[in-house]
Amino acid sequence: MASVTKERVLFVIFGVPMVTCLLVFFWIVFVLSTGIGTLRWDLLTTSVLQGGIFEMIIGTVYLLLGAAGIAGPVGVLAAVYLVEYAPRGKFTRIIDQAINNLAGVPSIVIGLFGYTFFCRQLGLGISLAAGWLTLTLMMLPIVIRGTEEAIKLVPASFKEAALALGTTKWKATSSMTISSAAPGIITSIMLGVARVAGETAAILFTSCVLVTRGLPKSPFEPVMALAYNLFVKIVALGESPDEVFGIALVLFFIVAFFATAAISLRIHYRRRQPWLR
């Protein structure tokens, strides 16, 4: 009988978080239903100057693709170096800890750093490029940690067999370790993108303006972004939250798109990697 009681207690303990998840689910449904009411689909392709949000969507996508384009390669190479090449010692441990710390820095602080360093010091001004670099700082820890985990999952025997055939260390690493870890690496980049997709503070004073005339023509021009406009519309312009729910919804779909893409890629590749099972 005692074990039955124990089962029931455990059921409740494990059930509570489940209920919390359900609440979050209902909250998402609430945002969706409120947003859909205010969202007119033609606004998605209408310029901001005519009251649409086209430049915000494209600006957000530009920011994300650029940041992924920088943080992806840099993060992957950093992770490969840390796992495969870095000597185990004090220096490596300091770098390791620095990466952990970077993940914990509040985005507003990263934004402030981006403004003083990229915008002022490097003279990039309020621009797409400054936004890319600032978002890169936020993505890097996620990409590096995710890639490291993916690389560590690859059986060492692949690399050993390649080395025994007379390949160089880099060839063994790139042809075996990195290509086998590719699905995990792609997933971690996608997660990094999802992490910064809704980021406001980091682009607040590095790359965004409220209105632009058309899309930026070079990386050195400022850009519009959904999250930033959402923030400004409520805080500075005092628009009622109801009206900006539409923007929130579009942002939600962009984040959801990247997250879904990441998950389906992982499922797709896992099927092709029997050694992970």
Contacts to other proteins by CB under 8 A: 88, 155, 157-158, 160-168, 171, 175-176, 180, 272-275
Q: Which is nearer to other proteins, 58 or 276 (CB)?
A: 276
CA-angle at 121, arms to 116 and 124, nearest 5°: 90
Minimum distance between the CB of residue 155 and other proteins, rounded to whole angstroms? 7
Residue with Cβ nearer other proteins (60 or 173): 173
Distance, CA of 75 to CA of 258 (rounded, Å): 18
Residues 229/211, Cβ–Cβ less than 8 Å:
no
Joined together, the tokens standing for residue 230 give 């959402």
151's CB contacts (< 8 A; 6+ apart) are 79, 80, 83, 84, 177, 178, 181, 184
Question: Which residue, 153 or 259, has its beta carbon nearer to other proteins?
Answer: 153
Q: Which of 221, 174, 222, 228 is nearest to 201 (CA)?
A: 228
The candidate with the shortest Cα–Cα distance to 194, out of 17, 26, 67, is 67
221 vs 56: CA distance, rounded Å: 14
Q: How many helices (H) and strands (E) does the chain have?
A: 11, 0
C-alpha–C-alpha distance, residues 174 and 176, integer Å? 6
Please report how close the Cβ of residue 183 comes to other proteins at its closest, in angstroms: 11
User: Closest separation between CB of residue 189 and other proteins, Å?
Assistant: 21
Measured from the CB atom, the residue of 145 and 159 that comes closer to other proteins is 159
Q: Is 17 or 166 the residue whose CB approaches other proteins more closely?
A: 166
Kindly report the backbone phi and psi dihedral angles of residue 261, in degrees, each rounded to the nearest multiple of 5, phi listed first.
-60, -40
Contact call for residues 197 and 248 (beta carbons, < 8 A): no
Task: Kindly state the smallest distance separating residue 274's Cβ from other proteins, in Å.
Answer: 5
Looking at the Cβ atoms of 102 and 163, the one nearer to other proteins is 163
For the CB of residue 11, give the shortest distance to other proteins in the complex, in Å: 40
Q: Least distance in Å: CB of 85 to other proteins? A: 12
For tokens 């005519």, the residue is 50
Query: What's the one-letter identity of residue 177?
Result: T
| Least spacing, CB of residue 127 vs other proteins, in Å | 43
Nearer residue to other proteins within complex by CB, 4 or 165: 165
